[in-house]
Amino acid sequence: MRVFKFGGASVKDADGVKNVATVLKQTGHEQLVVVVSAMGKTTNALEQIVAFYLQQESELKTQMIDLHRYHFDIVDALFEHKQHPIYQKTQALFTDLQTTLDRNKSKQYDYIYDQVVSYGELISTTIISEYLADQGFANQWIDARELIKTDTTYRDATVDWERTQQTIRDKVDRNTLSVTQGFIASDANNFTTTLGREGSDYTAGIFAYCLGADSVSIWKDVPGVLNGDPRVFQNTKLLRQVSYSEAIELAFYGASVIHPKTIQPLQRKEIPLYVKSFLNPKADGTSVKKGQPLDPYIPCYIVKKNQILVSLSSLDFSFIVEDNISEIFKLFHQYHIKVDLIQNSAISFSVCLDDKFHHFEKVLSTLKAKFKVTYNTGVALYTIRHFTDQAITSLEKNKDILLKQITRETYQMVAKE
């Protein structure tokens, strides 16, 4: 039993969908679960639809038409006969999306987000499942919302592992090819939830854990895990081997190739993870397994943009101690703000924050009541795992550095973008 995951870049157009079939031909499709993301930039487009909907903007209709056209252009390129059931099935999903918007009574952004954005995965998997069937790959389309159960933390739900294991074991046929959605799930009342942005990798890990899979393969537009994002860093190199612990570290610091939560369920059952190129399916890519050394052992570069650097100091020059820090972190937790770096002295405390849910303004007003607050928005957090002096010197060149920190294996720097 294997699990494959194809991201949005791998199915952004008709050629990408056709390539999924090519990969399955080359790697085999028996006893396989295929997890698929929304096509191309569909999630971004649906996020914009949510924004237009809540602001009652006239652009909503145009955005819906553009998204409809984008998907039907792909359908037209994949299916020769216009009477194919895929046309009716895809249209039904767009009709459901419009109905969801029309009938919604909630004003809660996170709830609306999950109900709307989930259609990206539902549409992509419907198209791909039908195309694979047309190409001779008999398959079972599965609604992941019926299998992965979570709490009601919309946009970043926590998995109910006991219920999820039971439903996946009961409803997934291990002997066939199954196609399902990444990223989406549902709560106890069957309202749609999502597992966090880029959460499709995590979905693959959940299915692998619950099914006791032999392996997980994540198919990307890069050769595997590189020692830096090639869009940001020059002369990047392929990491042939990575351990679970190293992969968790890289993901935690912001490496975009693997979702931070993906590794945890896999390492519990020692299920190997492979990151491979969908453009070259026969290539080895990167293997992630227990205890294997980083190969090659070289500096790994990571950048997280659009961060917030906050520095707090006491109003009366008293020490910032455990009670203060506990209170600050409780506030961050309450508003789902992730802390990526911490540095403190006797009377000051600095943190680099990832405010993915845009709650910082609410937190800021509370902090200002108790502390002197200075902050910079739109900063970048750079990390080097297994740094060298040369790597640090190269990274710091021509940067306006606000804060830096060095531990045994990790160098971090916050700089203005």
CA dihedral 376, 195, 24, 268 (to 10 degrees): 100
**Do 357 and 336 touch, CB atoms closer than 8 A?**
yes
Under 8 Å between Cβ of 125 and 205 = no
Determine if residue 7 is labeled as part of a ligand binding site: yes
322 is in an annotated binding site: no
Neighbours of 69 (CB within 10 A): 10
Nearest to 395 by CA among 377, 383, 407: 383
The first and second tokens of residue 340, run together, are 């990526």
Please tell me whether 361 is known to bind a ligand.
no
43 annotated among ligand-binding-site residues: yes
User: Is there a contact between 8 and 38 (Cβ–Cβ < 8 Å)?
Assistant: yes
DSSP count for the chain of H helices, then E strands: 13, 16
Tokens of 413: 């720097």
The residue length of the chain stands at 417
Tokens encoding 240? 């042939």
Distance CA 11, CA 140 (A): 19
| Cis ω before 281 (30° cut-off from 0) | no
Query: Which token pair is 397?
Result: 């060149």
Q: Which residue has the tokens 């252009």?
A: 73
240 is in an annotated binding site: no
Tell whether 94 is in a known binding site. Answer: no
Q: Is 6 annotated for ligand binding?
A: yes
Q: Which residues make up each annotated binding site for substrate? A: 43, 121
Q: Which residues make up each annotated binding site? A: 5-8, 43, 121, 231
Q: Which residues make up each annotated binding site for ATP? A: 5-8, 231
